[in-house]
Amino acid sequence: MTTETQTELREDELLIEPAEPTQPRTRPRTRRPDPGTTETGPKRLVRSATVSDRFNLLGAGAAAIAVSTLLFFFLTPMTGYVGWIVVSFLGFLLIYALLVSLSGNRQEVSDRILTCLLVSAGVILIFALVFVVAFALLRGLPALAHLNFFTETMKLAGPLDPLSMGGILHAIVGTLIQISIALAITIPLGIATAVFLNEIGGKFARFVRTISDAMTALPSIVAGLFVYAAVIQFITHERSGFAASLAISVMMLPIIIRASDVVLRLVPGNLREASYALGTTRWRTVWHVVLPTARSGLVTAVILGTARGIGETSPVLLTSGVTAVLNFNPFEGPMISLPLQVFDFVKSPEPNMIARGFGTAATLVLLVLLLFLIARAIGGRAPGVLSSRQQRSAAMRSAADASRITLRHMQREAAAHPIEYAVETPVEDAPVAPDPGETKPVADASPETAPEGAPDPPVRRRILPPRLDWGRLRHSLTTGRADPETPVDPDPDPDPDSDSDPQTEERSS
């Protein structure tokens, strides 16, 4: 192949067809309709109910009950109250949807049906809670009616003794001690972990968050077995309240970490940025800005963790032991709690012991409900929102800070310009010496009680503030100018050769 042919091939290879010009992509403009030509439909009132809606609900409910009653008791061989309730509810939804569709569109029908489903779910939950509390109270009422049930222990009472003997004081004390130790372990560890997850981050933080979420679903019996194998078998060699507290803390820790993590995420980021703009470090920002802002949410997280740990039975069953006496030492001897006391009571076939068990269960349920109500009341406020008492306290602290700053400014001004702060004030009222022979002193010579013709109270010069440079002040008064190079003499000694009094010279000057 010759050189000319190679050159022609290379030129043909270098020839590239020009690309077709492409038009720039432009976003289609959204045209807003003219307000005068558009018509908006009526506002959907999802939560409101008219008179027709109420009649539709009543009619659908009555029709559903009637149809299910006919099906279960007259037309078909179906039986059972649970099935009757389910069929009645399904029939109610179907009939109610048909009634609403007569006067509304498809969207309104779906809104009404979903509203009925949500309200029904809430009613079922409330009914279940009320049923559990009422059942425990009714079964345990014979034991709860006696005051000794809360003030005595089971040390001198047996299964055959009447309900007027024995109580659950030892279980109440054991529960409080175990929960207190568990809170002392989990509160600093849980809040510190939540701060680490939010403020530090990184791969290790994601790993810790995954472990914390996995521990939330940890079976309680596994926590008890872990503490039994790691602490009781190798360290203490006996069941104790401290071992039960460790098992309870394992169950409480993921709850506190998860709830605190969610609360700290809700703290506004501009608060952190404002703190950083003032030159503070990260940890001072966390301590003085983030944690005080999320205080109510953190308290709610702690209370939720406490409610979870106070009702645990499986870990306590393996670690604390059963006893009928009062034990205040969590490091020695068994220490029973309320859940374990319920388990111990209901194992007995005696009616009195079963009544004590239900009374203990009612006490535990009411205690947990009280904790949840407190958490709801405290956690209802958003992060940073203060209550009325906290607002009054903050206003008082702000006023005290303003007074302190103003006083400090006045002191600095007085130290810089002492002549301008020299004022004349009357001498405080001093008692007059009694005449010779009198046994009672004469009253103070105040302007109101002074006799006629008495001289006016003397006037002296007082310098504010009290701590001043007397040598610099005397030099200024004698020469008429302030010399900054005058040596400081805070307490000048009088001249021994002169007969004049320093105080007299100062007053005359």
In a domain, 304, yes or no: yes
Against a cut of 0.85, is the pTM above it?
no
What is the reported pLDDT for 465?
Answer: 46
Number of H-type helices and E-type strands within the chain? 19, 2
In this structure, are 131 and 156 located in the same domain? Answer: no
In a domain, 101, yes or no: yes
In this structure, are 217 and 343 located in the same domain? Answer: yes
In this structure, are 64 and 154 located in the same domain? Answer: no
pLDDT top residue among 384 and 164: 164
In a domain, 246, yes or no: yes
Number of domains into which the chain is organized: 2
Distance of CA 417 to the CA centre of its chain: 50
Tens digits of per-residue pLDDT, 233-292? 888 888 999 999 999 999 999 999 999 999 999 888 888 888 888 888 888 899 888 998
In this structure, are 91 and 217 located in the same domain? Answer: no
Query: 119, 143, 167 — which closes off a domain?
Result: 143
Question: End-to-end alpha-carbon separation of the chain, Å?
Answer: 124
What is the reported pLDDT for 495?
Answer: 47
What is the reported pLDDT for 480?
Answer: 53
Q: Identify the CATH number of the domain in which residue 257 sits.
A: 1.10.3720.10
In this structure, are 190 and 66 located in the same domain? Answer: no
Q: Assess contact for 296 and 379: CB atoms under 8 A.
A: yes
CA torsion 133-137-241-216 (nearest 10°) is -10
CA distance 370 to 367: 5
In this structure, are 130 and 60 located in the same domain? Answer: yes
In this structure, are 175 and 275 located in the same domain? Answer: yes
**pLDDT of 106 over the 50 cut:** yes
Query: 381, 412, 447 — which closes off a domain?
Result: 381
In a domain, 458, yes or no: no
pLDDT top residue among 468 and 156: 156
Q: For residue 185, give the 3-state DSSP assignment.
A: helix
Query: 358, 381, 404 — which closes off a domain?
Result: 381
In this structure, are 90 and 203 located in the same domain? Answer: no
CA distance 232 to 469: 72
In a domain, 2, yes or no: no
Tens digits of per-residue pLDDT, 169-204? 999 999 999 999 999 999 999 999 999 998 888 889
In this structure, are 260 and 242 located in the same domain? Answer: yes
In a domain, 312, yes or no: yes
CA torsion 190-196-201-206 (nearest 10°) is -20
In a domain, 398, yes or no: no
Q: What is the 3-state secondary structure (H, E, C) of 56-80?
A: HHHHHHHHHHHHHHHHHHHHCCCCC
CA distance 53 to 59: 10
pLDDT top residue among 320 and 50: 320
In this structure, are 265 and 375 located in the same domain? Answer: yes
In this structure, are 157 and 290 located in the same domain? Answer: yes
In this structure, are 102 and 175 located in the same domain? Answer: no
Could you list the residue range(s) of the whole structural domain that residue 276 is in? Answer: 148-381
In a domain, 507, yes or no: no
